[in-house]
Structure 1
Amino acid sequence: MTETQGNSSRPQGKPGMASGSIGSGLIALVIVALGVFALFGSWYTIDQGDRGVLLTNGALSSVVDPGLHFKLPWLQRVEKISLRQQVLKWGCENQNDCSGLPAMQAYSRDQQPADMRVTVNFHVPAAEVSNVYTNYGSIEALADRVIARKAPQEIKTVFGQYDAVSVIQNRAKFNKDVAEAIAAVTDGPVMIDSVQVENIDFSDAYEQAVEARMTAQVEVQKQEQNLQQEKIKADIAVTQAKGRADSIKAEAEASAYKTRVEGEATAEAIKARAAALANNPLLVELTKAEKWDGELPKSMIPGSTVPFLELSTPAAASN
Structure 2
Amino acid sequence: MISKIAFGVGAALLILAVFGSFYTVDEGERAVVLYNGRVSEVAEPGLHYKIPVVEETVPISIRQENYRFEHVTAYSQDQQIGTLVLSVNVQPTTSEVARIYSEFGSVQAMVSRVLAPRVNEEVKTIFGGFTAASAIRDRGKLNADIEAAIRSNIEGAPFQLISFQLENIDWSDSYEQAVEARATAEAGVATQRQTLEREKVQAEIAVTQAKARADSSVAEAKARAEATRLAGEAEAAAIRARAAALADNPNLIELTKAERWNGALPTTMVPATATPFVNLR
TM-score band, normalised by shorter chain: 0.7 to 0.9
TM-score between the two structures when normalised by the length of structure 1: 0.71
* Aligned counterparts of 1:267 and 1:284: Cα–Cα separation in 2: 19
Matched, 1:81 2:61: yes
Q: Is the 8 A contact 1:51 1:129 kept in 2?
A: no
Corresponding residue number in structure 1 for 2:69: 90
Q: How does 1:258-273 map to 2 (within 5 A)?
A: 258-273=227-242
Q: How does 1:5-154 map to 2 (within 5 A)?
A: 24=7, 27-28=10-11, 31-32=14-15, 34-35=17-18, 37-38=19-20, 42=22, 44-47=24-27, 50-53=28-31, 55=33, 57=35, 58-64=38-44, 68-72=46-50, 74=52, 75=55, 77=57, 79-84=59-64, 86-91=65-70, 103-154=71-122
Deviations 1:239-264 (A, max 9, x none): 22222112111111111122112222
The gaps in structure 2 that reach 5 residues or longer are none
Q: Is the 8 A contact 1:106 1:115 kept in 2?
A: yes
The more displaced of 280-289 and 114-123 is: 280-289
1:202 corresponds to which of 154, 171, 185 = 171
Q: Is the 8 A contact 1:158 1:178 kept in 2?
A: yes
The gaps in structure 1 that reach 5 residues or longer are 1-17, 92-102, 311-316
Offset, 1:288: 6.1
Q: Which has the higher contact order (CA 8 A, sep 6+)?
A: 2
2:127 corresponds to which of 159, 165, 168 = 159
Letter in 2 for 1:296: G
Deviations 1:61-110 (A, max 9, x none): 3452x5x43334634636242232x222222xxxxxxxxxxx11221111
Q: Tell me the matched-pair count.
A: 273
Corresponding residue number in structure 2 for 1:223: 192
RMSD: 3.2
Deviations 1:170-227 (A, max 9, x none): 2111111111111110120222233222222222222222222322222222222222
Offset, 1:43: 5.2
* Aligned counterparts of 1:157 and 1:26: Cα–Cα separation in 2: 64
> Taking every aligned residue pair, what percent have the same amino acid on both sides?
38
Q: Is the 8 A contact 2:92 2:160 kept in 1?
A: yes
Corresponding residue number in structure 2 for 1:296: 263
Corresponding residue number in structure 2 for 1:239: 208
Matched, 1:168 2:147: no
